[in-house]
Amino acid sequence: MSHRKKILFLINPISGKKRCPNLEHLIHANLVSDKFEIHIQKTEYAGHAKKIAATSVENGFDIVAACGGDGTINEIASSLVHTETALAIIPLGSGNGLARHLGISLNISKTLKNLNDAQMQFMDIGKINDAYFLSIAGIGYDAEVAYRFNAGTGRGFLPYLKSCIIEYFKFKPITCYLNNEQKDLVFMTFANASQWGFNVKVAPKASVKDGLLEVCCCKKVSFLQLIPFGIQLLSGKIDRSKRVEMLKVEAATVKRTDGKPLRFHIDGDALEPVDSVRVEVLKSALRVWG
């Protein structure tokens, strides 16, 4: 018999109960026991997934399957960077940006079944200051949306859209230095993968395998321009907008020209404001089972 891969399914019970209440049953029903030695554990608090994933690396697990949203996936992947342990994704979140970018089915049974014949691959990840991001990091408007959305109780597309609309009317453009070049912007998004989530593609041409980050610099969109801009964004054509400048970088430094702290987010989770951010891509830094 060939070597059975040791796999840990790490479940965020908050998203798990809502999206897939019978997940543990489906895991055993869809995985081939000759191929996998299955372990299952649930997270109990914020940051727990990161600790468990780090322990899994020490204990020689081949794969850690992140069962949750982009935040849970980020936590787990952060402990797997530059290790022999691969990440698998079971998408149970609201936006599921990385899963959608990678073409992972939101049908959980199908995704589990696909693990049986998956292959080891490598993907780039982003780093912003001391934090890793798999899909997106951003400053400006999308960071403010992340702060509002994270602070609210609702999940799903409608609460997210509500946060977007409220912040549109509240947010004032900022001026930043990007590698010493001045940019007037509403948001600046660093994209390893293509989307914020919900298939809203902020960097349609982004790739997790090209060794580069796409930078989307967006200027203020007037109320009259909002509908055509929204159509471009939702149809994956934001890069054609005259309000947007797309750049490719391996690394960048950003700070506000007025010296005020920058709010930023990683994979939709808002972090504490900082004086400046240093962003870089780590090429092929993460193993992925998929």
Residues 78 and 31 in one domain: yes
105 found inside a domain: yes
155 found inside a domain: yes
Residues 112 and 139 in one domain: no
Q: How far lies 29's CA from each of 13, 25, 33, 146, in Å?
A: 19, 6, 9, 36
251-256/136-140 β-pairing:
unpaired
Residues 139 and 275 in one domain: yes
The CATH number covering residue 223 comes to: 2.60.200.40
Residues 108 and 180 in one domain: no
Instruction: Report how many domains make up the chain.
Output: 2
126 found inside a domain: no
pLDDT 10s digits, 169-197: 888 899 999 999 999 999 999 999 999 88
pTM above 0.85, yes or no: yes
Residues 22 and 138 in one domain: no
Residues 139 and 279 in one domain: yes
Residues 87 and 140 in one domain: no
Residues 97 and 153 in one domain: no
180 found inside a domain: yes
The CATH number covering residue 63 comes to: 3.40.50.10330
pLDDT 10s digits, 251-264: 999 999 999 999 89
- pLDDT string in tens for the chain (290-residue length): 458 999 999 999 988 667 888 999 999 999 999 999 999 999 999 899 999 999 999 999 999 999 999 989 999 999 999 999 999 999 999 889 999 999 999 999 999 999 999 999 999 999 999 999 999 999 988 888 877 777 766 677 777 777 788 878 888 899 999 999 999 999 999 999 999 888 999 999 999 999 999 999 999 998 899 899 989 999 999 999 999 999 999 999 999 999 999 989 998 788 889 999 999 999 999 999 99
- What is the DSSP secondary structure assignment for residue 220, as one 8-state letter? -
Burial of 129 (0-12, 13-18, 19+ CB in 10 A): middle
Residues 190 and 244 in one domain: yes
**What is the span of the domain harbouring residue 174?**
133-284
Residues 106 and 153 in one domain: no
